[in-house]
A and B are shown apart, each in its own frame.
Chain A
Amino acid sequence: MDRRKTLKTILGGAVGTAFIGGSVACERTGDPVPASATEAENEGYGLRTAYEAEREAQLRSERFFSDYELETLVVLGNIIIPNVEESGFSEFCEFMAKDQPGVHATRLRGGLAWLNAESSRNYEGKSFNELTDDQRIAIVDSIAYPDPEANVQPPGVQFFNHARFMAMTCYYTSRQGIKDLGYVGNQPNVWDGPPQEVLDKYDLAYDPQWLPLYVDQEKRNEQVQWDENGNVIRG
């Protein structure tokens, strides 16, 4: 989405010609959705306004973290969630530090500096990256468990909470994380209630008052008909 695109949308609007494709053409086939809806996706992630597109291009042209900071994020991230870097962890942190600087920039940068100072104090001037695996875990264990009774957590714990948040979001919004989680939606579907065994497990049943009124998915392609009181004529 750029200026050119903006102009294109204006052009489309001013001309006012047919923009409607054959999106209802499939209705009689019984497919839940037109084939066109599941075709290969376009570039990008859907329409951006000119403001959004320019802003993003600007952010991508900037660099916030140093190489060393990014390396540290990779090491730490992979401790929080194994292989989280494969989900794009350091790239995500870099982008968010610029996209929401007030939320992420100083928290992450300052936290990394805290982590290196803590490493240095405990291990003869070494940075976090220079520690052995056991030494890193020792530091992580000292900051990974907030005191539930404390009103204010110490800086290391606050940093780890934030790093954990970033790792969790990054992982669970990635291909790998969504697969691990078992989310099976975001695709055309025909919803017909929870599986019977799930209802049984929770000892739940449809209210008999409404059971006959729920949509009959076998007949959803048939034109709705009402009686004069607005009740759907069934059959």
Chain B
Amino acid sequence: MQIKKNAKEYDAIIVGSGAGGGMTARRLAENGLNIAIIEAGPFYDPTDKEMVTQLRWPWESPRRGASTTRPFGDFNAAFGGWDIPGEPYTTFPGTNFEWFRSRMLGGRTNHWGRISLRFGPDDFKHYDKDGLGANWPITYDEVKPWYTKVDKLIGVFGTNEGLPNDPDGFFLPPPKPRLHEMLVAKHAKNVGVPFVPSRLSIVTKKVNDERGLCFYCGQCSRSCMVKADFSASSALVIPAMKSSGTVDLYTDSMAREVITDATGRATGVSYVSKEDRREYTINGKVVVLAAGSCETARLLLNSRAPGQDNGLGNGSGVVGRYLHDSTGLNVSGFVPSLMDRQRYNEDGVGGLHVYAPWWLDNKKLDFPRGYHIEVWGGMGMPSYGFGGGILEMQRAVGERVGGYGPKMIEEMNRYYGAYVGMAMRGESVAMYDNYCEIDPSGQVDEWGIPILRFNYKWTDYEYKQAQHAQQTLRSIMNDMGAELISPEPGKDQEYGLLAPGAIIHEVGTARMGDDPKTSATDRWGKLHESPNVFISDAATFSSQADKNPTWTILALAWRQGDHIVEELKKMNI
């Protein structure tokens, strides 16, 4: 039942149903507004038994969980990935960007790592600290109450550590660490890296009547059937649909452009239905873009208003620019002392129970921004690829490399749970020259929509940070007695730095600022050049932090949603 041509004028049209769109939708609907959500993928409800992949076994998949069509494996709850058939993008020669898209209700929140970190006071004013990038037009203190609301609505476990740039919050009690996490924390301390309980949006203690309690299957990436993890589908959009407002959800609908009147005011959004491949328009008083930083930029760049030939709201020319993703690299190794482990269920929550927030002062270092450290390992559920590293493990413990038969199985059983890894996730510097644009070749995707071309290069800031992280992570592993799987990558291997886009924290393509000449949106995330077009995803981020962006997306979207309600009440929009 696709709603075809619709004369109705919604109070608001929201494009995208992830963290930003979901939160905006919930706030507007709870305030009684009539809204439409345009979602490029299908409906998805993690609590629907027919959809659930949680608690399934690897043998139920013919590919044993391999990542053929889903980059994080067959049971992962993200439909899509870095490559989507029929939806290409290109990169400028000599540059690199990998664009992850998840076409479904809730978007990428259905599978993400649930690491939920508030940005700190310095993160909003990093230009003041090091003269790079731009300050946000708002401060931590302005956003703080909204972070607290998000903490209390959605639930995030952690501990108040009183750290200057990793703010305390209203945390649920954290779970105890796993064995390898305690080991890593101990050896990290030996080399001067403090680990603390992690901060994940997983419900460890009753937070409200909406949400279930974690039952420690370690599978948040499959999206939780009892809603013990945060997914925008189950925690925001579906509750919005039960609230006092009216929510019309247009699924399998690919937003194409924002429609404006002669004054540049948005009147609606056009989309291509994936069912019949025809274009439709719906009308609204307010348009909120939350399609994901790059998709939101694409929408703006594909939209036109009188006098705005460069894309809607792009008089500054910054739409698509200052694109930046978190830096990332991984180091892993075999820890002989963890061989022959006693078996017990250590699935835990779907992610790390400990992490190391940035602990150093960049003034004393040769790179400007920090990183945090994540850890993984343990006796997890086997999936496709299990045992593939046996030759490396044999080498690590001095066994004859190779073989077959019962002896090999016996060895593998002894090695189980002894493989440990760490991941660095850091802040890159927002650069004008890192951007996405409409591909000048004129190529369109299968929905007829002009595609993006990316132009992104890491700079020495990121390379130096990566070099530092390699040394740090390796020193922890060495202190633990680990046999590292690969030698330290040098400059020719970019110090092991993963490609931009690989960490899926891309932000900044319509950055907020007080000056319309250098920013696309104002402090509320509203386009400077249109009275009623807002952005509630991470496109508005003036800068990233050494943190995952989701909690900040949620806080800003809540703040923005309430602002839109007020402005509508005052007839300002």
Tell whether, in the assembled complex, residue B69 and residue A51 are in contact, meaning their CB atoms are under 8 Å apart. Answer: yes
A121 at interface, CB cutoff 8 A? no
Residues of chain B with a CB closer than 8 A to A180's CB = 409, 413
The reply on B571 being an interface residue by CB < 8 A is no
Instruction: Give chain A residues whose Cβ lies under 8 Å from the Cβ of B48.
Output: 19, 47
A16-B241, A80-B404 as given contacts; A148 in contact with B395, CB under 8 Å? yes
User: A183-B382, A215-B157 in contact; A223/B206 too (CB < 8 A)?
Assistant: yes
Chain B stretch 156-184: residues in CB contact (< 8 A) with chain A: 157, 159-160, 168-179, 182-183
Measured CB to CB, the closest approach of chain A to B401, in angstroms, equals: 5
Interchain CB contact under 8 A, B204 and A215? yes
A173 touches which of B64, B178, B208 (Cβ 8 Å): B64
Q: Which of B7-15, B383-391, B520-528, B533-541 contacts A (4 or more CB under 8 A)?
A: B383-391
The interface-forming segment of B39-47, B90-98, B259-267, B323-331 is: B39-47
Whether A189 sits at the interface, judged by CB under 8 Å, is yes
Q: Select the stretch in B308-316, B345-353, B456-464 that faces chain A.
A: B345-353
Residue among B217, B234, B387, B405 making CB contact with A188, cutoff 8 Å: B217
Given A189-B347, A191-B216, A224-B207, verify A10-B1 contact (CB < 8 Å): yes
Specify which chain A residues have a CB less than 8 angstroms from the CB of B204 in the assembled complex. 215, 220
Query: A152 near B: Cβ within 8 Å?
Result: no
Closest chain-B Cβ to A111's Cβ sits at a distance in Å of 15
The smallest beta-carbon distance between A195 and chain B, in angstroms, is: 6
Q: What chain B residues lie within 8 Å of A183 (beta carbons)?
A: 343, 379-382, 416
In the complex, the number of residue pairs spanning A and B with C-beta atoms less than 8 Å apart equals 337
A14–B2 touching, CB < 8 Å = yes
Q: Nearest Cβ in chain B — how far from A5, in angstroms?
A: 8
Give the residues in chain B near A61, CB-CB below 8 Å. none
In the complex formed, the residue of B with least CB distance to A185 is B347
Chain A residues in 8 Å Cβ range of B148: 230
Q: Does B66 contact A (CB under 8 A)?
A: yes
Q: Closest residue to A222 on the B side, CB-wise?
A: B206
Distance (Å) between the CB of B447 and the closest chain A CB?
14
What 0/1 pattern do residues 511 to 547 of B give for CB contact below 8 A with A? 0000000000000000000000000000000000000
Q: In the complex, what residues of B have CB within 8 A of residue A192's CB?
A: 176
* Chain B residue at smallest Cβ distance from A214: B176
Closest A residue to B185 by beta carbon equals A207
Q: How far is the CA of A219 from the CA of B172 in the complex (A)?
A: 12
Chain A residue contacts of B49, Cβ below 8 A: 36, 39, 42
Q: Which of A6, A11, A16, A221 contacts B213, CB < 8 Å?
A: A221
Whether B402 is near chain A, meaning CB under 8 Å from some CB there, is yes
The smallest C-beta distance from B185 to any residue of chain A, in angstroms, reads 8
Given contacts A19-B48, A24-B211, A194-B346, contact A215 B172 (CB under 8 A): yes
Closest B residue, CB atoms, query A12 = B43
- Asked if A155 lies at the interface with its beta carbon under 8 angstroms from chain B, I say no
Q: How far is the CB of A200 from chain B (nearest CB, A)?
A: 11
Give the contacts of A30-83 with B (CB-CB under 8 A).
32-34, 36-39, 41-42, 44-47, 49, 51-52, 55-56, 60, 79-82
Please report the total number of B residues contacting A with Cβ < 8 Å.
126
Q: Given that A23-B226, A173-B58, A195-B344 are contacting pairs, would A181 and B416 also be in contact in the complex, using a CB cutoff of 8 Å?
A: yes
Residues on the A chain within 8 Å of B64, using CB: 92, 169-170, 173
Q: Of A21, A160, A215, which is in contact with the most chain B CB atoms at under 10 Å from its CB?
A: A215
Interface string of B478-515 (1 = CB under 8 A from A): 00000000000000000000000000000000000000
Given contacts A33-B226, A37-B55, contact A10 B275 (CB under 8 A): yes
Shortest A50–chain B CB gap in Å is: 8
In the bound complex, do residue B206 and residue A224 qualify as a contact, i.e. CB atoms below 8 Å apart? yes
**Inter-chain contacts of B406 with A (CB < 8 A):** 82
Q: How large is the interface on A (under 10, 10 to 19, 20 to 34, 35 or more residues)?
A: 35 or more
A222 to B183, CA, bound (A): 32
Contact of B250 among A14, A60, A175 (CB under 8 A): A14
Q: Mark A181-223, 1 if CB is under 8 A from B, else 0.
A: 1111111111111110111011010110010011110011111
Residues in A with CB closer than 8 Å to B270 are none
Alpha-carbon gap, A56 to B68, bound state (A): 11
CB contact under 8 A between A173 and B384, given known A23-B225, A46-B53: yes
Contact A100 B66 (CB under 8 A): yes
| Bound Cα distance from A164 to B409, whole angstroms | 11
CA distance A51 to B54 in the complex (A): 21
B404 near A189 with CB under 8 A, answer no
Contact of B105 among A13, A38, A145 (CB under 8 A): A13
Q: Contacting A37 at CB < 8 Å: which of B168, B174, B226, B405?
A: B226
The B196-251 residues at the A interface (CB cut-off 8 A) are 196-197, 204-213, 215-219, 222, 225-227, 234, 238-239, 241-242, 246-251
Contact of B342 among A164, A190, A197, A210 (CB under 8 A): A197
Kindly name the residue among A47, A187, A188 whose own CB sees the greatest number of chain B CB atoms within 10 A: A47
A193 to B69, CA, bound (A): 35
Report the Cα distance A146→B404, complex, angstroms: 12
Q: Which residue of B lies closest to A223 (CB)?
A: B206
Which residues of A1-33 are within 8 A (CB) of B?
6-7, 9-21, 23-24, 27, 32-33
A-B contact pairs, 6 of them (CB 8 A): A24-B226, A27-B206, A165-B387, A165-B388, A172-B412, A175-B57
A residues within 8 Å of B by Cβ?
Answer: 6-7, 9-21, 23-24, 27, 32-34, 36-39, 41-42, 44-47, 49, 51-52, 55-56, 60, 79-82, 87-88, 92, 95-96, 99-100, 140, 144-146, 148, 160-161, 164-165, 168-175, 177-178, 180-195, 197-199, 201-202, 204, 206-207, 210, 213-216, 219-224, 226, 229-232
Known: A18-B242, A24-B211. 7 other contacts (CB 8 A): A45-B75, A49-B79, A88-B59, A165-B387, A178-B57, A178-B382, A202-B183
- Residues of B participating in the A interface, judged by any CB pair closer than 8 Å: 1-3, 39, 41-45, 47-66, 68-69, 74-75, 79, 85, 105, 148, 151, 157, 159-160, 168-179, 182-183, 185-186, 196-197, 204-213, 215-219, 222, 225-227, 234, 238-239, 241-242, 246-252, 275, 337, 341-349, 379-388, 390-391, 395, 400-406, 408-409, 412-413, 416
The 5 A-B residue pairs whose C-beta atoms are closest, nearest first, are A168-B387, A46-B53, A193-B176, A173-B58, A145-B402
